[in-house]
Structure formats: C-alpha cells, structure tokens
Structure 1
Amino acid sequence: MTEKVMAAIDGSQFSQAVCDCAAWASLALEVPLTFLHVNDNHAAPSEQDLSGNLSLGAREHLMEELSRLDEERARVAQEQGRLMLQSAKERATEYGVNAAGTRQRNGTLVETLEELQDETRLLVLGKRGEGVDQASEHLGSNLERVIRTLHRPILMVPDSFNRPEKVLMAFDGNRTTRKGVELLARSPLFEGVTVHVLIVGADLADNRAQLEWALETLRGAGHEAEGAIRAGEVESTLHAYQQEQGIDMLVMGAYGHSRIRHLLVGSTTTDMLRRTRIPLLLLR
C-alpha cells in the first residue's frame, strides 16, 4: 500500500494553509497527496422532541418531516464537502502537485484517520476545526484526540503557511528525541533547511554531549545545524528562541514520559499547540 500525505480539511479558516502545507510536504517527500473531508454524523444538533402531545397521525407526519430534513441536511453536507475537496485539489495543482486524490467519508474524524493510518505517512491538519475559529487560545478537541490515537507524524498548521527555512527541534537527549533527530536528519522534508536544536536545561557536561551528538548527526546528513542550551521554563524558552532566531517550524515529541502518557497529551506539547503561530510537527 502506497503511503500518502493525508490532509484533513473542513470549512475552517485553516484549510487553505493545510492545503499549501500538504502540497509542500507531498512534493518534498515525493509521495502522493490525498485530501480528506469527513462529514461528522454525530455533529448535527439533536432535534427537540415535539411529539409528546400530538396525535398518532401528527406524530407520524412529524417523524417523516424530520427524516426528510435529516436527509436534506446530509445531502447538502455531502455537496459542500465535494466542493471543498475540489477546491483543495485545484489549489494543490497550482502549487505543483499532480493528481491529488480526494476522499469524503461519513463518521468521525478520529475514527476515519485511525482507519486510514496504515496508508498515511504524514497527517496534515489545522490547529482548530470550523466550530472554534474565533477562540484563538482554544485547542481543537479533534486535534487532541487525533494526537492520542494516531501513530504517525502529525503536522499541525496555523492559519497561514510558508515553506520553512529554519526548523527548531526541541531536544532533551532521551531515546524518543534522539530518534526524532535521526528521523529529521534523513527526511527529505527538510532538505536545504537550517535545523536548530535546543535543550532546555542546565549547561552541564551531559547536555553539552547530547547537543554535540545531535548537531553531528544533522551535519553528517548534510544539514546546516545550530544548537543551544538554555535554562528556563520549557514553553517560554522555546518560544523566546523561536522569536530570536526567526524559526518557522517547530518539531517536538507528542508525549511526555509519565505513567499517564497514553491518556493525556504532554503538558508542554499542549501548551505549544495552543500558543504557537508556526507549524508544529509532532513525532510519535
């Protein structure tokens, strides 16, 4: 089965950025691109029960009318989804992608993505869905559930996307982040991109050795690489470094390493997801 860049789109303000980011990733990775739109069959507001004081005939008529309205709503949602997918495909073609695929499913986004993850090399999706556009510090609940469920790299996109030139890897020297450095080093997604590695912690010999390993790994793969060790609180230190260096994409592990890691997104990751204004690649 051919692995693809899978891009989840909806009616939110983030979908254009998702299209552009997914097109860039598809071209860089040289893998096909598929746009996915899911009609959430649990998302429609429940109908108020108006039948209690009606006669049998009136109740039957009301149920038939509600059923007809549900069918019409489903038809409209299907057509809206088709138009979104067609628009996304046209935008990807303008970006240089040939023959992007489209899929429309009924169900929930998380369940659909879980079904498709065997053919997903990279998932691209917006920071929030169409229901929470205006809540700038609110993290879309779908995004959190997707991160908990999927075992594929996830690229979260804010409301605009530009091809990255400087990438920051949040690194702490543990096995997961060392694998992240190795993955980043060999990924064609970051060819020609300057990679920064930041350890948030004390400037100790062990941290200096870990940083040197990361930089040697990246430079050995042909990357221009820079690094630093900074003391401070993780989220604010990463943000300050990003601003200082003009970083335009952040790479992090999706979980901490506590016993509840399989139940909750790591708190640092959640904070960065909520506040970041640049794309964030989460490695699983």
Structure 2
Amino acid sequence: MKQIIACIDGSPLTEQVLNATEWLAKKTEAPVTLLHALEKANSQTHDLSGTIGFSSREHLLSELTELDEKRAKLALEHGRLLLDGAQAHLQQNGVSATPLQRHGDFVATLSDLEQDARAFIVGKQGTEHCQQHVIGSNLEHAARTLSQPILVIPSEFSAPSSFMVAFDGRETSIKALEKIANSPLLKDIPCHLVMVKRDKSGQQETLDKAKSKLVDLGFNVTGHLIEGENIQSTLLSFQQQHKIDLIAMGAYAHSKVRQFFVGSNTTKMLTESTVPVLILR
C-alpha cells in the first residue's frame, strides 16, 4: 500500500507537518512513513599548505576530520531522536508511523521513495530559513521533480474546512483537477474553483465544465471567474477574503528558461501563501 511520507528535520515547522500528517492519514487511511534525510555537510577542510608548516597542517587536518565525524554522529543521533519523538506524537493521536532515516540529497531521496509514495508532506521552510515569505531551498526543486502530490505546510496547520482550486484550463490545472476528483481527501470539504479572467474567449465555459465534473462526483463546488491584473496576488486575495484554508494547484506549466523571463506563479504562490498548498502534477 502506498505511503504518506512526512519529512521532518527539526525545524520550527516539524510540529505542523505532524499535524498535517495526522489529518491526511486519517482522511485517506494510508500508512505513514516519517522521513529524516541527512544531507552531507560541507567539509571545513581547506588547503593550508601555503600558510603553515607541513606537520602543523597535517595535525590540523586530522582534527578537522575528527570534528566532521563527530558532527555526523551527532546529526545521526539528533535525527533518531526526532523520529522517535515524532512517532510517539502521532501514536498518541491514533496514527501509527514507521521511522526512516536516509543519507544523501533530500530531493534525490524523495525521488527514490516516490514509487511507494501516495503523497509527501514538507514544511515550507527547513532549518535554514525562518522568514515567512521564503521557501526552503529544496522545495522548488522537489515540486519540479516529483510527480506525486506534495502538501506544503506554512507556519500553522489545522484541518481545512474549505479549499480553493487555482484553475486556468491548462494541462497542469486539468491534471490537478483529475487528481482531486479521484481522491477522497477533499471530497467532503466545500470547494472554490477559481479562474482569473484573461483576454480569452470561452473561459466561463471551461470553468463550468470543470465545475460540473467535480459536482457529478459529489463535490460541493462554487465556481468563480474573477478579475485581476496579477494572477498570484488575485488568487491569494480571494483566498484571504473568503477565509479559505487550503489551496490546491498544478505546478510549473512552463520551462525554467521561460520562467526566468516571465516568472512562475507556482513559486510566487508557494512563497506568499499563508495557508497550506497542495501541489498536484
């Protein structure tokens, strides 16, 4: 059976990731794996041959190597303690979980596990960030690389009482809609299907067809064709005005080269959103 993989790193968002994991596990009845990925730390060793004598240099390199080994052991033990605490936290709330510790690049680790993953849960920022409107260095890479859903958790998480689908009629948003339609996760929660009006004909018809598809499957859906100059800020303003608890959206419809010139609504939404974002590809 495919797993919910919850990624924890000891950052301030770890507790919120666990709260989201509990909600997702109970909604889907899927098993949970708690993942702690240990990425290789940068070595502090430098070439000092031009500044100190050979024997002194060898002694210093030996001490630096020992220090790196101690850091690695401490990081390993810290990860084990994190996993033990997270497992106990979920167990107290009625969710069993399997701990998993891996060494290596974070996104590569997720890619290795993707075949057995139903969804990934990650914090918006890792231990290296603390600002609200910043995303972790691995998050955009993961969103571009992984095909399974990713639930991105900001500073707070509570079970959503409504959700919004950011819909534009393109392939990525159609695929996102199909994944929502085929999952029990959001079926009993009111849905706002939102499209920002552009200078195109047929948008209302496209929106109505998408809404009908969800309604036919038992979703409670309200469609909205709204006006705004900037897609990302218009969608986030709508979410805030209607007090919507979760945003679902497709990710990265264009290449990285094009996004360099025109920007990416996906990255902007992830950066600016104060509610969880469910990325569907």
TM-score (norm 1): 0.90
Does the alignment pair 1:77 with 2:69? no
Q: Which moved more, 1:24-33 or 1:58-67?
A: 58-67
Given candidates 169, 176, 180, the residue that maps to 1:180 is 176
Alignment pair present for 1:273 and 2:275: no
Q: For 1:97, what is the secondary structure of its paired residue?
A: coil
Aligned: 1:23 with 2:19: no
Residue 250 of structure 2 aligns with an amino acid whose one-letter code is G
1:154 aligned to which of 150, 153, 161:
150
Q: Which amino acid aligns with 2:38?
A: N
Helix, strand or coil: the match of 1:155? strand
Matched to 1:231, the amino acid is E
Kindly provide the amino acid, as one letter, of the partner of residue 31 in structure 1.
A
Measure, in 1, the Cα distance between the counterparts of 2:168 and 2:56: 67
- 1-side partners of 2:262 and 2:66: how far apart? 41
Is the deviation greater in 10-19 or in 271-280? 10-19
Higher mean C-alpha deviation, range 166-175 or range 51-60: 51-60
- The 3 A distance-change label for structure 1 pair 152 and 260 is farther
Checking the alignment, whether the CA contact within 8 Å between 2:153 and 2:276 is kept in structure 1 is yes
Residue 108 in structure 1 maps to residue 105 in structure 2:
yes
Measure, in 2, the Cα distance between the counterparts of 1:148 and 1:179: 15
What amino acid is the match of 2:19?
D
* Deviation of the 1:261 alpha carbon: 6.7
Deviation at 1:207, TM superposition (A): 1.6
| 1:256 and 2:267 correspond | no
| C-alpha displacement of 1:274 | 0.6
Amino acid corresponding to residue 7 of structure 2 in structure 1: A
1-structure distance, mates of 2:118, 2:129: 27
- Give the C-alpha shift of residue 128 in structure 1: 0.8
Following superposition, the deviation at residue 108 of structure 1 comes to: 1.6
Q: Where does the alignment leave 5 or more consecutive residues of structure 2 unmatched? A: none
CA distance in 1, matches of 2:30, 2:95: 10
Structure 2 residue aligned with 1:118: 115
Secondary structure, counterpart of 1:46 in structure 2 = coil
The 2-side partners of 1:52 and 1:153 are apart by 52
Paired residue type of 2:113: L
Cα displacement (A) at 1:56: 4.3
Q: Are the counterparts in 2 of residues 249 and 279 from structure 1 also a CA contact under 8 Å?
A: yes
Q: CA RMSD in A?
A: 2.3
Offset at residue 126 of structure 1 (A)? 0.5
Report the Cα offset of residue 253 of structure 1. 0.9
CA shift for structure 1 position 219? 1.4
Task: Assess if the C-alpha contact under 8 Å between 1:219 and 1:225 holds in 2.
Answer: yes
Aligned-pair distance for 1:203? 9.1
- SS for the counterpart of 1:122 is strand
Aligned mate of 2:60, from 54, 57, 62? 62
Structure 1 residues 259 and 48 mapped into 2: Cα distance closer, same or farther (>3 Å)? closer
Residue type of the alignment partner of 2:98? G
Q: Distance in 2 between matches of 1:89 and 1:218?
A: 36
- Checking the alignment, whether the CA contact within 8 Å between 1:254 and 1:266 is kept in structure 2 is no
Q: Deviations over 1:147-199 (max 9, x none)?
A: 12212111110011101110100111223322322221221111311111001
Match of 2:225 in 1: 229
Give the SS at the match of 2:64.
Answer: helix
1:166 corresponds, among 156, 162, 173, to 162
Helix, strand or coil for the counterpart of 1:188?
coil
Distance 1:264 1:90, change over 3 A: farther
* Paired residue secondary structure (1:104): strand
User: Does residue 1:208 correspond to 2:204, yes or no?
Assistant: yes
Query: Hey, what's the Cα distance between the residues in 2 that align with 1:203 and 1:166?
Result: 29
Q: Percent identity?
A: 39
Cα separation, partners in 2 of 1:255 and 1:101, compared to 1, 3 Å: same
